[in-house]
Structure 1
Amino acid sequence: MRNSFFLLLLFGTSLFADFYSDLGDKEFQKHNYKRAVDNYKKSKHPNKNSIKIKLINSYLNLGDNFLKIREYKKSLYYYNQAELLNKNIASDKIAKVYQRVASRYEKAKNYPKALEYYKKALHLKSIKLEKKITSIEKKLSHQKKLNNDTRKIVTKNSPVWTHSVGRLIIPLQLQFINEKRYKIKNKKCSATLVNLDPYSSSSVIVTASHCLTNYNQKIGPLKFAIKNKKNHITYRIAKIEYDSRFDIKKMKTTTDFAILSLHKPIENKDVQAMVVSNKSFDHLANKSLNSFGSLAGFSNDVAKYGSKLTYDPQCKLSRYNQMYGKSTCTGFKGASGGAIILNTTSDNKNFQHHFVGVISHFRDANYKNIYFTPHHLFFDKLVKTIKKFN
């Protein structure tokens, strides 16, 4: 009788264990993966391979579900639980979460954190992140290499000419998240609102030609964004009127400028456009008692990594060759297309500000020497466009 009792107990326990495993299967089929996990864990043999596989699949599905709704911490937790049961089973998925987290940090311009998570993703999976990591490392290391960075964030108290510089948003391609969802990948450069008359509204901006190289007009229009005197952002649709078709392989024969019109003027009471002189920068400098250069643009290594407009108040401008001038001002990628300014005076007290060129490219590793396209090379085209649209 006693032996029969123990046999019944053993048999009953076995049935009880099978009951939880079966219940876990039912919950799994209903996509109730959390309940499935709870039941599989109650199985008499949770370390059995068949139960382990069921647990792993439940954890992976839980991780996938939380990844879809962007709850990355919970997603990572469940993927890690799966990885504890099988060392390599979830590494690709964990790498995907790290990449998503890194992308969010990058979008928020928190580059130290973005770099940390991109490297974690790269460590787990052989994915093409090397270029992105290199790009972020450049941004983070640039300031450390500079000996004398005098750039300032543009505020309402900054020189009036700085407020004529805005941001040009260039659509490049569609990035599909799934069959129905996509986002537009944009490139961002700088651009300057210009005019011949300091008291009139303007519908003309200038930027660098290389900013437009991969522009895909089928995806959407170019957009120009600039802060007005009330510190609100004004948007305009832009259209290319002239493009020098910059070619880095033909530096001695091609310039780097583009002239664009806006679909609607920006009122002078909101933004004062830069006045364009018909004299070259070296001619203006020679006629001045004293002169110095300045530049402004959205350099993406400073001011929340390009979120804010910055300017270098003082540097030297010189002629490099027939196509380009050279500046000792400090800048970085994102400033391309921004304004080069010559400040002149006849009494060392009162200074005039002249738009004299467009930021083009950088030559040395520290981005210290900035090359620009002098405005006198495209002055006639610029005047023609201004007269047509203003």
Structure 2
Amino acid sequence: MLLVIGGNGPQGLVEGNQALIKICLIASVWHDLRIFTYKLYENNHITTTSERLELMKKTLFGLIFCLISLPIFGGEDCDVCGPQLTGSPLKTNFSFQAIGQTSKYITQSNDNKNFETTLSNDPRKIFAKSSPKWLEAVGKISVPHRTKNEKTDCSVSLLTDHLDKDSIIAVTAGHCMKNWNFPGQDPKAPAVITFTKKDGTKVTRSVEKILSMSPSEGDYAILKLNKTVPNSLVKPLLIADGPYRGADGFGYLEFDEFTGGPGHKKAFGTLAGYSSDSSPQFGNKGQNLTYHEDCHLNGGEAYIKSTKCWSYKGASGGATVVTVDQGDYNDNIGVEHLYVGAVMGQRKGDNKRAFITPLEFFREPLESAFKNYMP
């Protein structure tokens, strides 16, 4: 019989199974110690060698059973939550410390050669005049390779720590920039970023330098642009001032207090980027900005979180945004769109499950970039 304890949805399921295993370990050892103590003292004689061996075998069997159960139940998959990426030190089949190479399991940037077929029932929307204005801060970045006559197309987010500021800082996925330049050398050609406004106006900048970067574990790159983007032209995304998780863990918007009172919406997540799927009604080979609104954000490790948001190659570096209506608490704030992470890629063979690098993983170098370079 499998006893599941714990609540609060999928995260509670995982935590409950972890608690079960701890109980199993303790109970197994305690039970056998009690038997041994009883034989030793209550019966007033020392157990025979065969009895001691039998007790040791039982204890060992219990420990082995519990240890085998640990990765099985600790990484429980479910239809609601997608593949759970449990926190360290527990490892699952989707723990990239164990796997080593994310490229084996994640589809990432658009190489402009192979465009994926758009799946049926795709819930994404195309950026249009009726779309949320914050999507203007999600741009497309074209990165020329240093050693080959090729380029990589990805997505990028213009960010700020205060909505009144102009911005010169953007974030993309680290793997998008890994072929652009080598330490101590100038790039072969500029990496060009294009932001598109709702009226169709294009705002173009280039990357002046990479301020901080990790192309594998914690896949991100913090970029300084060649020129400031005025707030009046493109309003940058405001970074969240903390992780969007509550005391119960990283789950579908654990801003549980923002449940949407009378006249207010419940908080929800959106994933946006320049997916390069082939359909003209969606990504159009990376020409259209698409976004999956109100999609499910799951758990993970410090440097990678899973989602049930749809995307394709080319969305890497795009934005994961949480929309929170704070009117219940502060009428002067109202609805906020908070940046909480960069798109890393999609689970291979499953475009319904994107992975992201959470903001908390690169918050320190990002805030340092704001301090040193923002106007």
TM-score interval, smaller chain: 0.5 to 0.7
Is 1:340 the counterpart of 2:320 in the alignment? Answer: yes
| Contact 1:292/1:317 (8 A) holds in 2 | no
Structure 2: state its 5+ residue gaps.
1-109, 247-253, 260-265
| Contact 2:292/2:310 (8 A) holds in 1 | yes
SS in 2 for 1:280: coil
Superposition pairs of residues 220-231 of structure 1, within 5 angstroms: 220-228=189-197, 230-231=199-200
1:173 Cα shift? 5.0
Aligned-partner Cα distance in 2 for 1:227–1:361:
22
Aligned length in residues: 240
Superposition pairs of residues 146-225 of structure 1, within 5 angstroms: 146=120, 148-173=121-146, 184-216=149-181, 217-225=186-194
| Contact 1:357/1:372 (8 A) holds in 2 | yes
Aligned-partner Cα distance in 1 for 2:160–2:365:
13
Superposition pairs of residues 260-279 of structure 1, within 5 angstroms: 260-279=223-242
1:367 Cα shift? 1.5
Aligned-partner Cα distance in 1 for 2:215–2:171:
14
| Contact 1:210/1:246 (8 A) holds in 2 | yes
| Contact 2:209/2:225 (8 A) holds in 1 | no
1:231 Cα shift? 2.3
SS in 2 for 1:325: strand
1:346 Cα shift? 4.6
- Per the normalisation by structure 2, the TM-score is 0.59
Give the aligned residue type for 2:145: L
Give the aligned residue type for 1:383: E
| Contact 2:258/2:324 (8 A) holds in 1 | yes
What does residue 296 of structure 1 align with? 272
SS in 1 for 2:240: coil
SS in 1 for 2:142: strand
| Contact 2:269/2:320 (8 A) holds in 1 | yes
Aligned-partner Cα distance in 1 for 2:303–2:339:
17
Aligned-partner Cα distance in 2 for 1:323–1:174:
29
Aligned-partner Cα distance in 1 for 2:361–2:214:
14
Structure ID, larger Rg: 1
Aligned-partner Cα distance in 2 for 1:329–1:287:
23
| Contact 1:275/1:354 (8 A) holds in 2 | yes
SS in 2 for 1:304: coil
Cα deviation digits, residues 352-374 of structure 1 (max 9, x gap)? 21100000021141211111011
1:225 Cα shift? 1.2
Superposition pairs of residues 78-89 of structure 1, within 5 angstroms: none
Is 1:305 the counterpart of 2:285 in the alignment? Answer: yes
| Dislocated runs of 4+, deviation >6 Å | none
SS in 1 for 2:351: coil
| Contact 2:324/2:335 (8 A) holds in 1 | yes
Aligned-partner Cα distance in 1 for 2:257–2:141:
34
Cα deviation digits, residues 282-303 of structure 1 (max 9, x gap)? 2462442232210110000033
1:344 Cα shift? 2.1
Change (3 A) 1:150 1:351: farther
| Contact 2:315/2:343 (8 A) holds in 1 | yes
SS in 1 for 2:350: coil
Aligned-partner Cα distance in 2 for 1:241–1:364:
28
Give the aligned residue type for 1:165: V
Is 1:282 the counterpart of 2:245 in the alignment? Answer: yes
Is 1:378 the counterpart of 2:358 in the alignment? Answer: no
Structure 1: state its 5+ residue gaps.
1-131, 176-183, 248-253
| Greater helix fraction, Structure 1 or Structure 2 | 1
SS in 1 for 2:179: coil
Aligned-partner Cα distance in 1 for 2:232–2:165:
9
| Contact 2:140/2:156 (8 A) holds in 1 | yes
RMSD of equivalent CA atoms: 2.6
Give the aligned residue type for 2:134: W
What does residue 238 of structure 1 align with? 207
Bigger Cα displacement from structure 2, 151-160 vs 275-284 = 275-284
Aligned-partner Cα distance in 2 for 1:174–1:234:
28
- Per the normalisation by structure 1, the TM-score is 0.57
Cα deviation digits, residues 45-102 of structure 1 (max 9, x gap)? xxxxxxxxxxxxxxxxxxxxxxxxxxxxxxxxxxxxxxxxxxxxxxxxxxxxxxxxxx
Cα deviation digits, residues 249-282 of structure 1 (max 9, x gap)? xxxxx20111001111011111010011221122
Aligned-partner Cα distance in 2 for 1:279–1:357:
11
| Contact 2:237/2:338 (8 A) holds in 1 | yes
What does residue 13 of structure 2 align with? none
Give the aligned residue type for 1:311: Y
Superposition pairs of residues 97-116 of structure 1, within 5 angstroms: none
Cα deviation digits, residues 219-238 of structure 1 (max 9, x gap)? 11222111246522121121
Give the aligned residue type for 1:319: G
What does residue 355 of structure 1 align with? 339
